[in-house]
Amino acid sequence: MCKVHLFNDDCLNVLKKIEDNSIDLIFADPPYNLSSENALTTRAGKPVKCYKGEWDKIDDIFEFNLRWIEQCVRVLKETGTIWISGTLHNHPIIGTILKQLGLWIINDIIWFKPNATPLLSRNRFVPSTELIWVASKNKRYYFDYEMARKLNGGKQMRNLWEIPAQRHKTPHPTEKPEALLERIILIGSKEGDVVLDPFMGSGTTGVVAKLLKRNFIGIEIDPVYFEIAKKRIEEEKPIQQTFLNFL
């Protein structure tokens, strides 16, 4: 039976207590620093303020990212990988930090959402992608190439992933689809491995890790979202319409 450890705390406080070289896979979806009282987005077809919460308002985004990534690198195994999701607002900063820390950058994955939320403004293109850095400490990282081929219908998997955005199962504004995490966890880890999510949010990583028989460590600073994630992971709801159906 897999082990699940959940922490309602700042990720730095918890990461500092985790043993060196003990984590097989890290998926991080850190704050993008997008929240603004003046900016607008759409929700259910209606304009709303682009305010995700106090956790998404950061004064020094570079220093913030540097500190948590340093700790993640410390706890990551020599054969492990770290996957960091972002947008143009933080993606370049993350890449700079990974290079600064001497990590081996494996890929930058483009997650294309064909059903992305439309824009209210008419002065730019509709953002339809998120970007995921994949990195390791060296070139001896674990990567299940055959699994990637199997998930991709027997063909080599490219770094452009078309995965539709899904209707959220929780109130969390940046909830990731289970299909995305399923692909990452299946390719980047084995059964019994330890998966860490330092910004657990709605708990998607934990749900998928548990269903795929991985051990999981999840950290979430917001007490409301922590309780939502905890309940969701404990219930271990079945994954619907995901890549597992094609195995």
pLDDT at 49: 53
pLDDT at 121: 81
pLDDT at 48: 52
What is the CATH number for 213? 3.40.50.150
The pTM for the full model equals: 0.87
pLDDT at 184: 98
Domain range enclosing 117:
4-246
| HEC per residue, the chain | CCCEEEECCCHHHHHCCCCCCCEEEEEECCCCCCCCCCCEEEECCEEEECCCCHHHCCCCHHHHHHHHHHHHHHHEEEEEEEEEEECCCCHHHHHHHHHHCCCEEEEEEEEECCCCCCCCCCCCCCCCEEEEEEEECCCCCCCCHHHHHHHCCCCCCCCEEECCCCCCCCCCCCCCCHHHHHHHHHHHCCCCCEEEECCCCCCHHHHHHHHCCCEEEEECCCHHHHHHHHHHHHHCCCCCCCHHHHC
- Number of domains into which the chain is organized: 1
* Residues 121-160: tens digit of each pLDDT: 888 899 999 999 999 999 999 999 999 999 999 999 999 9
pLDDT at 39: 52
pLDDT at 173: 85
pLDDT at 241: 39
CA distance 23 to 119: 39
pLDDT at 34: 60
pLDDT at 181: 97
Residue ranges for the chain with pLDDT beneath 50: 35, 40, 238-247
